[in-house]
Amino acid sequence: MPGGSLDRLRTGVNPILEALERGAAATPARTVLIGDRGSLTWAELAGLVAAWRERLLALRPGPIALALDNGPAWVVLDLSALAAGIPCIPLPLFFSPQQRRHVLDRVGVVVEAASEAAGPVLSLAGTRICLRRRAAGAGAPKVAKITFTSGTTGAPKGVCLEAAVMAQVARSLIEVIEVTPADRHLAVLPLTTLLENVAGVYAPLLAGACTVVPSLGSVGLSGSSEFDVIAMVRAMRAWRPTTAILLPAMLKALVEAGSSGVAFPDSLRFLAVGGAPVAKCLLQRAAAAGLPVFQGYGLSECASVVAVNGPRGNRPGSVGRPLPHVGVAIAGDGEILVTGSRCRGYLGEAPLPASEPLATGDLGRLDESGYLYVEGRKRDVFITGFGRNVCPAWVESELSAEPAICQAAVFGEGAERNTAVVVAAGDAAAVPAAVAAANGRLPDYARIGRWLAAGAPFTPANGLVGSGGGLRRKAIGLAYGIE
């Protein structure tokens, strides 16, 4: 077998690596991973993982940061670090230099894999990479992955995850989504996104399915927020996936493309959407366009997915039932509490008590059938001048569901009427009608009384969006003289 021996991967306890071994033994010539420049069979992937495990260990065990575009090389290095027992730190390419430096300094990275040449260049699965050694700093705990989310101040926060927790999420997703070896998943989110990493790589691998990991540019994604829907549709037609994971803005763009006559491949059977609130009207428009969309909910602290709708139970407006291994309860103040799936803790902080439920910071409710509804962030709720509680994310999702509105930030603390700062999708003259349409779906206390035109889109570059994609409402309010 090229590149190494399968025996070197044997751990007896890691289900993800065990699945790789089984696939290589049972169907060695079957394709498991496809990229822009070629594909890998089960045997080839297992051989590369074994060989690169030895290469990483030869550089001395220590964390490895992956600063690579999507592709088979990313997956190989991620699995190689898992096989070597080395913490893997996915490093988003859109992080600012300050955020990158913060992450690397915090974990004391020993090896940094990057696509740009700043050291000896190696070839891996058709991708040129270089492994850069860095002086070890404070060091990282012995976990499988440290995924960084943006903090409220812009400094990324490291969530420490063990392999068993991520594998359990992947197993539950296989059960709910009904993944089979016949499935083909198209990764359209960055693999540095934990959701894509767990649901788009680990779950198909455990199920014996194939994953397509083209470069982000080839599926229309640039930076953290620029998206070319035609490129994505072109990729879907070329690869004919059965499953994919979308952000709400991507879904909206696909729905609008469909309404313009763009045809989608008939191979699609499950499009998951999450990462931010999704308006029910957008889900209804997606269904009308023939898109098999299922909304879900999760967070990094729970190794991504907590709940998701599935083929055997889909209630639009909800985020589905909790995964089989997850317990969800609602606290007295409405906060969602999770048991059965959690991180070890945050980098540099004491471990979280294993016996206590994880307080998500999200507000929600469970209906009589066990479906979960997420109703905003606990800390984001504002109280209007008339004493009504409003979650801005809910109102923003209704506004952003309108074709004329690209982004919206909503404010109303102590005010007689709510205000929105709106980024128009095209002609600003269409915004008033769009605001009126959204208001028609909202109760009177949540409606927009006035709106301001944003001078530019909200992005991480201008400090108005966090690296994880969430709005920085305080910064937006200051920029537009609201707060």
Q: Does residue 441 have a pLDDT over 60?
A: yes
Sign of CA dihedral 322, 326, 332, 333: negative
Residues 81, 339: Cα–Cα separation, whole Å: 28
Mean pLDDT of the region 139-153:
75
Q: Which domains does the chain have, with CATH numbers?
A: 6-161 (3.40.50.12780), 164-342+354-378 (3.40.50.12780), 381-479 (3.30.300.30)
As a whole number, mean pLDDT of residues 298-327 equals 96
pLDDT at site 132: 83
| Paired sense of beta strands 327-330 and 335-339, if any | antiparallel
CA distance 78 to 144: 9
pLDDT at 115: 75
d(CA 9, CA 51) in angstroms, rounded, equals 10
CB neighbourhood size of 361 (10 A) = 13
Q: What is the mean pLDDT of residues 127-144?
A: 79
**What SS3 class is residue 450?**
strand
Give the mean model confidence (pLDDT) for residues 15-42: 96
Q: Which of 108-112, 261-265, 429-433, 456-460 has the lowest mean pLDDT?
A: 108-112
Least-confidence region, from 205-214, 241-250, 299-308, 378-387: 378-387
| Amino acid at residue number 385 | G
265: Cβ contacts below 8 Å, ≥ 6 apart: 236, 237, 240, 241
Q: Are 51 and 4 in contact (CB under 8 A)?
A: yes
- Give residue 10's pLDDT: 47
Average pLDDT over residues 408-431: 92
- Residue 166 token pair: 């991520």
Q: Which string of b and e fits 400-410 if b means at least 16 CB within 10 Å? A: bbbbbbbbbbb
- Cα 311 from chain centroid (whole Å): 21
Q: Lowest-confidence range among 47-51, 132-136, 432-436?
A: 132-136
Is the pLDDT confidence value at 472 over 60? yes
Instruction: With a cut of 70, say whether residue 478 has pLDDT above it.
Output: yes
| Mean pLDDT on 63-76 | 94
Task: Give the residue, 117 or 34, on which the prediction is more confident.
Answer: 34
The pLDDT score that the predictor gives to residue 153 is 40
User: Which helix or strand (DSSP H or E) is residue 189 part of?
Assistant: none
pLDDT over 70, % of the chain:
92
* Confidence check: pLDDT of 2 > 60: no
| pLDDT at residue number 4 | 44
Question: Whole-angstrom Cα distance, residue 307 to residue 309?
Answer: 7
Q: Where are the beta strands (DSSP E) in 134-280?
A: 145-149, 157-161, 184-186, 210-212, 221-222, 226-227, 243-246, 270-273
In the chain, what percentage of residues exceed pLDDT 90? 66
Average pLDDT in the 385-398 region? 84
Residues 358-371 have pLDDT tens digits of 999 999 999 999 99
The average confidence (pLDDT) of the chain is 89
Highest mean pLDDT among 128-132, 331-335, 380-384, 411-415: 331-335
In the predicted structure, residue 313 carries a pLDDT above the cut 80: yes
The mean pLDDT value for 52-60 works out to: 89
Q: Which of 133-137, 277-281, 448-452 has the lowest mean pLDDT?
A: 133-137
359: Cα within 13 Å, side-chain hemisphere: 11
Question: Which has the higher per-residue pLDDT, 469 or 231?
Answer: 231
Query: Looking at 8-12, 91-95, 174-178, which range is the least confident one?
Result: 8-12
Q: Tell me the mean pLDDT in the region 129-146.
A: 80
At 52, the pLDDT band (50, 70, 90 cuts) reads very high
Give pLDDT, residue 24. Answer: 97
